[in-house]
Amino acid sequence: MTCTVSVIKDHSSTPRFTEVSEDLFVQHNGPRYRTPIDLQLTPDQPLRFLVVGGCLAQPFPEVASIINPEFSGDFILLNNFDPFPEIPQETISRYDFQIIHLPLRSILGNAYFQLPDDVESHEEFLAQTQDYLARYLANVMKLNTEYKLLTFVLGFMVPQQNPLGRLQPRYDLRNIMYFMERLNMFLASEVGRRENAYFVDVDQISSGIGKKAVQDDGVWSFSHGTTLSDGDHDHDLNRLEPPPPMQHHYSARWVEFFEALLYEIFAMHRTLKQQDIVKLVAVDLDDTLWRGVAADGTLGAIEGWPMGFMETLLYLKKRGILLAIVSKNDEQFIRGKWNDIVQGQIALSDFAIHRINFCSKVENLAEIIREVNILPKNVVMIDDNPVERALIQAGMPDVRVLGSHLYYLKRILLWASETQQPIITRESSRKTEMVQAQLERESVRRKLSHEEFLQSLHLHVAVSILHDTSDVHMGRALELFNKTNQFNTRSERYTLEQCQRNFAAGERLYVLQAEDRFTQYGLIGAAWVNGNRIEHMVMSCRALGLNIEESFMAFLASQLVLENESTMEGILLLTDANIACRQLFANNGFENTTDNPSIWSRQLAAPFPFPTHISFTAPGIKENVVLL
């Protein structure tokens, strides 16, 4: 197999091309096309899952074990409105997630095809079908409802053509294609209203592989809604001319479909666990952000992959990923020519930080990482120059480096699980603005004494308490626990099920928001408190150095005093990354009083000092009487 993907520039007049290896081609095509793994660092951990539904879902456990022998699934056949079987709670707790398949035949039946030929009848039938769907979903979602088990609900496949004919109205409920699309919209909405449940767009996966090679609606009834197979071929062997099996007539790719569908779910699971997440994408300019070399006047057309790449970066910014520029160029020249070069596709201000000079890219990238206070393992660098890529990889081995295959960049950056978020919080969408404000704040810090700087901030902090996983701040709190590395007192990651169990066990989750004269930082801190013990505290790196953690600690102590507690404890588990919080308890008067070096304790008789440069509120919580 010979494909060309990139040109290596040399001094000859004829370009030389690099060939795509068979391994690389396979990795970026077939069932992995939608779920690229170029940014994956951590190997997939053993997974155990439950599959509930009709025949379409039955192959999932077997296909999963083929993908990875450490993956195991159990299958429960549930057709019609069968009662959900009883499953011991200890068994449920061992599942990482469940996959729900709703048999279309149980929802739709054959009544649709006997309706009167008017829109009103079809509208009425749609409402009736949606009611069936909602009740069926409520039945099969028992484990999600009662135990908050992470759940992936499969959508329906949309038929390939309008059976009324190509010239008939497309977006009309009398067209089964549109009817199924409306059902999918309703199902996605119903799933979205539930906690820890996610809709899987099966129709998109079928379309990506090719519906003609996946779906059986060209042969079987529309309501069967499953894949091409030879499942009923035995029934036709007594004909005068027995037909060859179905897969001799059509190029069936149902195995690839099931693999792609499972890869989609596994990718969603990785995103929910925030594995190997990307927090910053740094890009070179010449022949990376645009074609050609700006200073040489050899710029090429912006159409094609450059526009696609710029568009990709803007989507990453909306997700809360920081953008940076690391380029060997004259900064004044680039600033002056920027709009002419990019033709309004992306603004220089869309990049949170940049280093445009002729210094080492390794040094420039290292400086950026220090300034925005993230870890190299959360950074992706993109550069067209193989020498520069090698230098960056050698100098910063934890940074993920891309750029050798430019036609993969958009797909990798947008579709990889490592660049996606379970939800896009307000804090995430404003990340660039907040980091730019942080850099401005640090510039002011260098001009003033530390005390003057703190007083100049007009810093305000507000604490609130969450009582269950449905709270509006739960998503951001979960994001903090699962993404924060440096100020994280035990580095444990949480699922929504675990949070629900914490609440059920009586633990309290306090969250902290902050703003200063530069910007609103949003929700930047969280702490699980169990009795008189701080089980786990996290703080965004944007808040470090402002004594906010001391004010948070003082507030929590005040709550314990009001509850007549005499001592306060905290847990601190050391990791390679959490250097920023290692002195949290020691600096606030705690001591190791047991044989366990991870448990710290402090008497509450001596009040906690409260930073005087911070104004503090706790709406809806007991008045913090001992703060001052």
pLDDT digits (tens, 9 = 90+) for 25-83: 888 998 999 999 999 999 988 999 999 998 788 899 999 999 999 999 999 998 777 78
Listed in order, the ranges of the chain carrying CATH 3.40.50.1000 are: 275-419
Q: Write down the residue that tokens 């519906």 correspond to.
A: 211
Instruction: Supply the angle between the helices 361-372 and 386-395 in degrees, to the nearest 10.
Output: 50
Residue 293 structure tokens: 């070399």
Mean pLDDT over 570-583 rounds to 90
Neighbours of 310 (CB within 10 A): 20
| pLDDT tens, residue by residue, 235-287 | 989 999 999 988 888 888 989 999 999 999 999 999 999 999 999 999 999 99
Percentage of the chain beyond pLDDT 70 is 96
What does DSSP say about strands 400-402 and 508-515: parallel, antiparallel, or unpaired?
Answer: unpaired
Distance CA(488)–CA(511), nearest Å, equals: 14
CATH superfamily of 275-419: HAD superfamily/HAD-like (3.40.50.1000)
Residue 586 structure tokens: 């020691």
Contact 458, 516 (CB under 8 A): yes
Let me know if 53 is exposed, middle or buried by CB neighbors in 10 A (0-12, 13-18, 19+).
buried
Q: Looking at 2-11, 40-49, 145-154, 405-414, which range is the least confident one?
A: 2-11
Q: Which pLDDT does position 7 carry in this prediction? A: 35
Distance CA(575)–CA(286), nearest Å, equals: 39
Average pLDDT, the chain: 90
Q: Which pLDDT does position 9 carry in this prediction? A: 39
Does 3 have pLDDT greater than 70? no
Mean pLDDT over 115-142 rounds to 94
| pLDDT tens, residue by residue, 100-111 | 999 998 888 788
| pLDDT tens, residue by residue, 473-503 | 998 999 899 888 889 999 888 888 889 889 9
Distance CA(514)–CA(516), nearest Å, equals: 7
- Exposure string for 57-78, b = 16+ CB within 10 A, e = fewer: bebbbebbeeeeeebebbbeeb
Q: Looking at 357-361, 432-436, 554-558, which range is the least confident one?
A: 432-436
Residue 212 structure tokens: 């003609």
Let me know if 11 is exposed, middle or buried by CB neighbors in 10 A (0-12, 13-18, 19+).
exposed
Contact 448, 464 (CB under 8 A): no
Residues in the chain: 628
Does 95 have pLDDT greater than 50? yes
Q: Which pLDDT does position 621 carry in this prediction? A: 63
| pLDDT tens, residue by residue, 306-357 | 999 999 999 999 999 999 999 999 999 999 999 999 999 999 999 999 999 9
More confident residue, 7 or 341: 341
Does 466 have pLDDT greater than 70? yes
Listed in order, the ranges of the chain carrying CATH 3.40.630.30 are: 446-617
Does 595 have pLDDT greater than 90? no
Q: Which pLDDT does position 4 carry in this prediction? A: 35
Q: Which pLDDT does position 2 carry in this prediction? A: 37
Does 19 have pLDDT greater than 60? yes
Percentage of the chain beyond pLDDT 90 is 59
How confident is residue 131, by pLDDT bands cut at 50, 70 and 90? very high
Distance CA(441)–CA(516), nearest Å, equals: 10
Whether pTM exceeds 0.85: no
* Top-ranked range on mean pLDDT: pick from 96-100, 250-254, 582-586: 96-100
Q: Which pLDDT does position 357 carry in this prediction? A: 96
Contact 620, 464 (CB under 8 A): yes
Does 413 have pLDDT greater than 60? yes
Q: Which pLDDT does position 16 carry in this prediction? A: 56
Residue 269 structure tokens: 């699971």
How confident is residue 17, by pLDDT bands cut at 50, 70 and 90? low
Domain 446-617 top-level CATH class: alpha beta
**DSSP codes joined into one string, 105-166:** HHHHTTGGGGS-SSHHHHHHHHHHHHHHHHHHHHHHTHHHHHH---EEEE-PPPPSS-TT-T
Q: Which amino acid is at 414?
A: L
Q: Which amino acid is at 170?
A: R
Q: Which pLDDT does position 1 carry in this prediction? A: 36
Distance CA(74)–CA(76), nearest Å, equals: 7
> Which uninterrupted H or E stretch holds 401?
strand 400-402
Is 33-273 a CATH 3.40.50 domain? yes
Residue 62 structure tokens: 């077997």
Distance CA(577)–CA(313), nearest Å, equals: 28
Mean pLDDT over 9-24 rounds to 63
Contact 90, 43 (CB under 8 A): no
Does 5 have pLDDT greater than 50? no
Residue 250 CA to its chain's centroid (Å) = 37
Contact 64, 98 (CB under 8 A): no
| Cα torsion angle, 63, 64, 70, 72, sign | negative
Cα distance between the two ends of the chain: 73
For 77, 277, 464, 515, 561, the CA distances from 623, given in Å and listed in that order, are: 54, 38, 12, 21, 11
How confident is residue 525, by pLDDT bands cut at 50, 70 and 90? very high
What does DSSP say about strands 400-402 and 459-466: parallel, antiparallel, or unpaired?
Answer: unpaired
